Amino acid sequence: MNETVREVLRRIGLATFVSAVLGFFALPLLWLAFAPFDANPGISASLPEFTLDNFRVLMENPYALASLRNSVLLAAGTAAFVVTSAALAAYALSRGRVPGRDALLYVLLLLSSIITGTAAMVPVFLLAFNLNLIDSRLGVVLVLTGGLLPAAIFLLKDFTDATPTSYEEAARVFGASPLQILRHVVVPVIRPGLATVTVWTVAQVWGDFLMPFLLLRDPDKAPASVIMYTFYTEGGQPDLALISTFSLLYALPVVLMYLFVSRRYGFRFHGGIKR
């Protein structure tokens, strides 16, 4: 009897705890789902007074849609740079003999978090200033690429290391050139890795605030993450209607990208662990 009571209490306790944790994470998502359609959104999640008016207001904002386009440009540019350079570097590091290779990789990985972090804000700004890269999308793309590259190389090197060299040797015996080997054999074999790195890069750039905020002056070039920061009412209060609606639009592309890549490439989130 006593046992049963204890068991029931244990289950009730567990269910309460799980519900609390679930609620903690679910409420912001509920807010994101309801607030954009609410005529008077607050900071609490509540059933909306349904309206699409918030979307109309957002469309009329001169910067909102352009900023999403800017975000796409920055993310695509950075992803292109990161994936191409990381694939070549990871392949070379995996196959060639580079003295002190592992030490080099770990040091780069350590430093990379500083490059795009607040600690290097001033030097990065000065560097961009002296290179005439202030207010240039290329500048932002290059700085972000620099910050993301070490981790991308690290991830991809895991994939190239796991690929048996006999694939490449077979191609070599049949007379394939190094670039042919890369194109015909290595890239298709590590494609899940390339997809992982692409998605990861895009997600990183999409969410990055500091670098574009620092390096882009012209609001016409600012990405969504920066523009969101400007949505205030005349009274200096956050414009919750605009912010919630924009947040929804801002979140959707990344979610869609995950779904698309997952469908197209059989992409699983590999992290750094070999299959």
Other residues' Cβ atoms within 10 Å of the Cβ of residue 249: 15
Quote the least distance from Cβ 75 to another protein, whole Å.
27
User: Contact between 266 and another protein (CB under 8 A)?
Assistant: no
Give, in degrees to the nearest 5, the angle at Cα 155 between 254 and 124: 75
Q: Between 25 and 174, name the residue whose CB sits nearer to another protein.
A: 174
What one-character DSSP code corresponds to residue 45? Answer: -
Answer yes or no: are the C-beta atoms of 206 and 225 closer than 8 Å.
yes
Applying CB under 8 A, which of residues 180, 217, 229, 233 lies at the interface with another protein?
180
Q: Is 30 exposed, middle or buried (0-12, 13-18, 19+ CB in 10 A)?
A: middle
Residue 188 or 271: the one with the smaller Cβ distance to another protein is 188
- Could you tell me the smallest distance in angstroms from the CB atom of residue 167 to another protein? 5
Which window, 21-29, 63-71, 169-177, 227-235, contacts another protein (CB under 8 A)? 169-177
Helices and strands of the chain, counted as H and E runs: 13, 0
Burial label for 92, CB within 10 Å (0-12, 13-18, 19+), is middle
Q: In terms of CB distance, is 62 or 99 closer to another protein?
A: 99
**Candidates 17-25, 116-124, 177-185, 249-257 — which segment interacts with another protein by CB under 8 A?**
177-185
Coil/strand/helix, residue 24 = helix
Position 118 contacts another protein (CB under 8 A): no
Residue closer to another protein (CB basis): 101 or 184: 184
Kindly tell me which of 266 and 272 has the beta carbon lying closer to another protein.
266
Interaction of residue 95 with another protein, rule CB under 8 A: no
132 Cβ contact partners less than 8 Å away, ≥ 6 residues apart = none
What string marks each residue from 42 to 81 as x (binds another protein by CB under 8 A) or -?
----------------------------------------
Phi, psi of 132 (to 5 degrees): 60, 35
The binder of another protein chosen from 135, 161, 169, 220 (CB under 8 A)? 169
Kindly state the smallest distance separating residue 96's Cβ from another protein, in Å. 13
CA angle 176–180–186, rounded 5-degree value? 110
**Binding residues vs another protein (CB under 8 A):** 97, 164, 166-167, 169-176, 180, 184-185, 188-189, 191
